[in-house]
Amino acid sequence: MTLRKDRRDFLLKVGTGAGMAALAAQATASLRSLVPNVSYDAPTTVKIGQPTDFPDGLKFLPDERLFVFREGLTFHAISAVCTHLGCTVRAEALSQVETAMVEGAPLRLTHRFMCPCHGSRYSGDGGNQSGPAPRPLAWYHLSIAPDDGQLVVDLAREVSRDFRLTVA
Amino acid sequence: MRKQGDAHGALTPPSEAPGVHPKPLWSFRPDSDRASGDAVVSNFLLHWFPAKALKASLDWNYSLWLGTVSAALLLLLVLSGMPLLFLYVPSVERAYATVKDIEYVVTFGSWIRSVHRIAAHLMVAAVALHLARVFFTGAYKNGVGQGQRREWNWVLGVGMLLATLFLSFTGYLLPWDQLAYWAVTVGTNIASSIPWIGPAIRELLLGGRVIEQPTLIRFYVLHILALPGLLGILFVYHMWRIRKDGGLARADREALLAEKAATPPAATKTYTLLGIARGTAPTIRASSLARPDASVNAVPDLTRRAAIVCLGTIAVLSILAVFIRSPLEEPANALVTPNPAKAPWYFLWLQEIVTDTTVHIGAFTINGAFLGGVILPGLLIALLTVWPWLDRSPAGVAGVWFARDRRTQNLAFILLALGVIALTLVGTFCRGPYWHFYWPWETWPEIPARI
C-alpha cells in the first residue's frame, strides 16, 4: 500500500513539475523575444563635416547632440546630453571669455550649459556646477577621416578633458 | 408599502422554488423583498452586490462614493478608448498625424479625445482621493466579521493606484509629441539610474538604446492591453474582496455599536417559568444589521445611488469635454528639449524631487534620478502598502472619519499629502525656463527657441 501511494505521489510531483517547467520555458521564450538581438541604432562613429566648415568658437550639432569647439586649429567636442536625466542642454554665451586650466591644459571658456528639464548647470568645460547633474558632460573623441579629411566623432568613446585634436 | 411575496406558499410550483429564477428579466422597481433579491441574484452586473445594504454604508458623506466615481471614469476611459483604437496608428511616422486628425479632422474626434484625456486626469485625482478617504476613515481595518482581510484590499488598491499612474504615463506618450518624447527620455533614464540593472531595464523598455519605433509599440501595447488587463483583474478582485470582507468598514462599526445596545426581551416569551432567570428578564443581544430600519434592499436603493453617481460622472465629463480641448504639442523632436519641459501635474512633485535630491558627499555623488526617482517614491509606496500592519488602533475605529485613536496617523498622512501638494504647486506655478524658480506673478525672461 505504502509503495503504491509513494508512486502516485511521485508521479503527481513529476507531472506538476513538468507542467511548471513547460510554463517557465514558454514564459522565458516569450520574454526573451522582446530583447532585441540586432541594433538598428544610428552608428556611433559619425562624420560631421570638414574642419574648415566649423566657425571659431562653438557649433551645435543637433543630430549628434554635440557641441564642437574650435580654437584656431584645435578642436574638442562636448556632449549636449545632460548627465542627470538625458535632456538636451542649451549653451549660453558668456559675457566674458576666460581661459582656465582644465586637467593641465589651458581651455578657453566661451559658454556655459543649462538643462531645461531640471535646471542643471555646467561650466564651459562641461563640469557640473549646480543642480541635480551628478557628473560632468561627456567629452568625445575626435579624429580626421583618412579618406576625405572630415572631422569624425566617436560617440562611444569618452575622453578626458585635456583632449584636443589639432588639424595640420 | 411592499406586499410580502407569495412564493413561499405550501404549493409552490418547482419553477418558483427558492434559488430558481424562471424570469429572464428582473425589475429595478421590485414589489417584494423576494423580487429585489432576485434582481441581484439573477443579474450578471449586480451579482457582486449583497441583497441587503446597510443604510449607513450608502451615506453620501461617508464614502463620498469616490470608488464608484473612479470605476465610472474607468468605464468611460474604456468606452472612449474604443474608437481611438480604430483612429490611432502606433508608428513614429504616423502617430502624431493620426492624433492631429483625431483632433481636427474626425467628426467628434476632438470630443472623444477630450473625454479620454479628462477622464484620465480625473481618474488619477479620484483614485488618490479614494485612497485618502479610506485612510482617514481607517477603512482598511478589520472589524468584527469572520475571514476579513481588509488590509489586502488596501494593498490591491495601492496596486490599482500604480496601474492608474502607469496607464496615464503610457497614455500621454502615444501622441508622440514633444511632451511624449521628453517624458519617455526622462522616465526611462530614471529607470536607468538604478545601479547595475538600470541600463538593462531601460533597454528593455525602449526596445533598444534609443527612442524609436520599438519604444512606441511597447508603450502602446502596455497602454491598450497589459495595463488595462492588470487593472481589470485588480478591479474585479477589489470588488470581490469588499463582499468577502462584509461590505464597507462602516458595517462593522454598526455591528459593534449594536452589541453595546441591549435589545429589550420580546414580550411574548416568558423566561421565569423555565427557571432560567428570576425577577428581571434577561436581555437579548441582537445585531443591528438585522434590524429592519438599519438596512435596505440593494435593489433599488444601492443601485439607484450607484446609477446617480455613474450617470452624474458621465454627464459632467461629457459636458467638460465639450468645453475643454485637449492640447497637442509640437511633433516629437529629438533635437530640441522644450524649455521648461514639464510633466503632467500628477508627476510634477516627482520632477521636483528628482531636481532636488542629488547629494554630493565629498567625491561621492548620489544621482537625484535614483534617490528621488526610485528610492523615495519606492519608500512612499512601501510605506503605504504596509501601513495597515503598522496601524495598532482598536478595531472599533474602523469606518470612522478622523477617529481620535488615529489622530497621529491621520496627521502624518496629511503632512505627507501636503508635502506632495506643495511640490506639485511649486512645479506648476513657480518653475520657468531652465527650471529656475519664479513667483507666479514674475514674468519669464525671453529665451531664444534655438541656440
pLDDT tens-digit readout, B387-423? 999 999 988 888 899 999 999 999 999 999 999 999 9
Instruction: Give which of B259, B263, B255 is closest to B283, Cα–Cα.
Output: B263
Q: Do B358 and A119 touch (CB under 8 A)?
A: no
CB atoms within 10 A of CB B25: 7
C-alpha grid cell for residue B158? 495601492
pLDDT per position in chain B (451 positions), as tens? 344 444 444 555 555 555 555 666 777 788 888 788 878 877 778 888 888 888 888 999 999 999 999 999 999 999 999 999 999 999 999 999 999 999 999 999 999 999 999 999 999 999 999 999 999 999 999 887 778 899 999 999 999 999 999 999 999 899 999 989 998 898 898 999 898 899 999 999 998 888 899 999 999 999 999 999 999 999 999 999 998 888 888 887 777 666 555 555 544 444 455 555 544 444 444 444 556 677 888 888 899 999 999 999 999 999 999 999 999 988 988 878 888 888 889 999 998 998 888 888 777 778 888 888 899 999 999 999 999 999 999 888 888 999 999 999 999 999 999 999 999 999 989 888 888 888 888 888 876 654 4
All residues at 6 or more sequence positions from A3 whose CB lies less than 8 Å from its CB, including other chains:
none
With contacts defined as CB-CB under 8 Å, which chain B residues touch A64? none
Q: Are B32 and B2 in contact (CB under 8 A)?
A: yes
Q: Do B335 and A63 touch (CB under 8 A)?
A: yes
All residues at 6 or more sequence positions from B122 whose CB lies less than 8 Å from its CB, including other chains:
B73, B317
With contacts defined as CB-CB under 8 Å, which chain A residues touch B338? 116
pLDDT at position B21? 57
- Alpha-carbon distance of B255 to B421, in angstroms, equals 37
pLDDT at position B5? 43
With contacts defined as CB-CB under 8 Å, which chain B residues touch A131? 355, 358, 435
pTM of the model: 0.86
Does any CB of chain B come closer than 8 Å to the CB of residue A7? Answer: no
| Residue B247 within any structural domain of the chain | yes
Does any CB of chain B come closer than 8 Å to the CB of residue A131? Answer: yes
Interface of A with B in 60-99 (CB under 8 A): 60, 62-63, 65, 84-88, 90-91
| Residue B135 within any structural domain of the chain | yes
pLDDT at position B325? 92
Average pLDDT of every residue of chain A: 89
- Alpha-carbon distance of B298 to B431, in angstroms, equals 50
Q: Do A86 and B355 touch (CB under 8 A)?
A: no
Nearest to B341 among A87, A131, A134 (CB): A87
**pLDDT tens digits for range A23-59:** 999 999 999 998 888 888 788 899 999 998 898 889 9
Distance (Å) from the C-alpha of residue A122 to the closest C-alpha of chain B?
12
- In the A/B pair of chains, how many CB contacts fall below 8 A? 101
| Residue B4 within any structural domain of the chain | no
pLDDT at position A96? 85
CB atoms within 10 A of CB B173: 25
| Residue B443 within any structural domain of the chain | no
Q: Do A39 and B209 touch (CB under 8 A)?
A: yes
Q: Do A87 and B185 touch (CB under 8 A)?
A: yes
All residues at 6 or more sequence positions from B206 whose CB lies less than 8 Å from its CB, including other chains:
B184, B188, B212, B214, B215, B218
- Range with lowest mean pLDDT among A60-69, A138-147, B159-168, B332-341: B332-341
Q: Are B150 and B141 in contact (CB under 8 A)?
A: yes
CB atoms within 10 A of CB B74: 22
Does any CB of chain B come closer than 8 Å to the CB of residue A167? Answer: no
**What residue in A sits closest to B350 (Cα-Cα)?**
A118
Phi-psi domain of A131 (left: phi exceeds 0; alpha: psi -120 through 50; beta: other): left
Q: Do B354 and A132 touch (CB under 8 A)?
A: yes
- Cross-sheet strand order for the sheet of A128-130: A90-102, A105-114, A121-122, A128-130
**pLDDT tens digits for range A75-112:** 999 999 999 888 899 988 888 888 888 888 888 888 99
pLDDT at position B281? 47
CATH assignment at residue B99: 1.20.810.10
pLDDT at position A41? 79
pLDDT at position B449? 53
pLDDT at position B256? 67
| Residue B174 within any structural domain of the chain | yes
* Residue B373 DSSP label: I
- Alpha-carbon distance of B272 to B279, in angstroms, equals 7
B163 lies in which domain range? Answer: 54-259+297-338
Distance (Å) from the C-alpha of residue B65 to the closest C-alpha of chain A?
38
- Alpha-carbon distance of A14 to B376, in angstroms, equals 45
Distances, alpha carbon B327 to alpha carbons A33, A105, A136, B110, B178, in Å: 36, 50, 36, 10, 12
| Residue B326 within any structural domain of the chain | yes
**Helix (H) / strand (E) containing A102:** strand A90-102
- Alpha-carbon distance of B233 to B241, in angstroms, equals 12
* Chain length of chain A: 168
Does any CB of chain B come closer than 8 Å to the CB of residue A117? Answer: yes
Phi-psi domain of B136 (left: phi exceeds 0; alpha: psi -120 through 50; beta: other): alpha
Q: Do A85 and B190 touch (CB under 8 A)?
A: yes
pLDDT at position B13? 54
Q: Structural domain tally of chain B? A: 1
Instruction: Choose from A41, A84, A110, A155 for mutation: most chain B CBs within 10 A.
Output: A84
Q: Do B204 and A35 touch (CB under 8 A)?
A: yes
pLDDT at position B269? 47
With contacts defined as CB-CB under 8 Å, which chain A residues touch B218? 34
| Residue B104 within any structural domain of the chain | yes
| Residue B449 within any structural domain of the chain | no
With contacts defined as CB-CB under 8 Å, which chain A residues touch B185? 85-87
